[in-house]
Amino acid sequence: MTTLAERLGFSADDKIVLLHVDDVGLCHAHNRGFFDVVEQGVVTTGSVLVPCPWFPEAAAYARRRPEIDLGVHLCLNCEFTALRWRPLLGADRVPSLVDGDGYFWSSPSETLAHANPDEVRSELRAQVERAITSGVDVTHLDSHMGTAMMLELLPIYLELGREFSLPVFLPRPTAALLDELGHPELVPELDEILLMLERSGVLMVDYAELGSLTFQESEAEAHFRDAVAGLKSGVTHFILHPAHGDEELEALTPESWQQRDAERRIFASSIALRWFDDAGVKRIGYRRLRSLLRGG
């Protein structure tokens, strides 16, 4: 079987990474973090939270820099207490997607317990359309907190990718990955899930590096140096959450603001670029997958 790497024009032995920034548009501190790591030239791609209050700043940046590789971080949750956001379509049109205060549910489990699939489809489509009409050259779709990728909503996620002719972030599922994501109960269904995905034609990446924010700030450099050195042959989606460690970020996420700032400092410096070069890793963006999907 031809690998994704080979379909992209690489060899099967090449190590390829989609170095991806999540949560663009969440707040000014996160936008500044994204701008910093993109300008350094190490990070290759990211995705924007369209319902969030700082989306307009991110969209303006994308209009000024159309070469920037930016997707839509499809959003069905708001996990913070100090800053909250609502569906684009409003509580009246998508009542199953909001809590008693009219905000997105805090957790994926709450969303899955309440969400009407038709309302999910409408809201997520509206987010993609808003990004496009705001001037973002949308390169891909992925999922905030993984909610839209969960098995109950996965058909909608894949459907939106087909509707907009966009690649969706989806790692090839393995027993180890399902266990890492907290879904060991799906392991017996793995063969059936893989068959369904293969039939859908989705471009699955080989691996996902999910270690962002799982370490203390003092451990950040060693964590990422080891993660880069350990990348395998194939295509890896490598998640980051860089942000400026200012008062805004500390108030928003007191438990992880230092890690987010550490990620920004590392990937806005030349040291990360040396790690990838030393490991022989090739960095690409999702625009390359979009071209493959569209036959370009």
Asked if residue 186 belongs to a domain, the reply is: no
d(CA 58, CA 250): 20
In a domain, 187, yes or no: no
The verdict on residue 196 lying in a domain is no
Q: What pLDDT was estimated at residue 279?
A: 97
For residue 209, report the phi and psi dihedrals to the nearest 5 degrees.
-95, 110
Could you tell me if residue 199 is inside a domain? no
User: Quick one: pLDDT at residue 187?
Assistant: 66
CATH code: domain of residue 279: 3.20.20.370
In a domain, 61, yes or no: yes
- Within-domain flag for 217: yes
Looking at residue 178, what is its pLDDT? 72
pLDDT at 173: 77
Q: What is the pLDDT of residue 200?
A: 77
Sign of CA pseudo-dihedral 208, 293, 137, 72: negative
* Count of domains for the chain: 1
Domain limits at 20? 4-170+205-293
- Determine, yes or no, domain membership for 181: no
Is 179 contained in some domain?
Answer: no
| CA–CA dist 210, 42 (Å, integer) | 18
- Give residue 194's pLDDT: 76
Report pLDDT for 207: 94
Give the pLDDT confidence score for residue 258 in this predicted structure. 97
* pLDDT number for residue 151: 84
pTM score, whole prediction: 0.94
Residues of the chain under the 70 pLDDT cut:
180-182, 187, 296
pLDDT at 114: 98
pLDDT confidence of residue 181: 64
Neighbours of 100 (CB within 10 A): 6
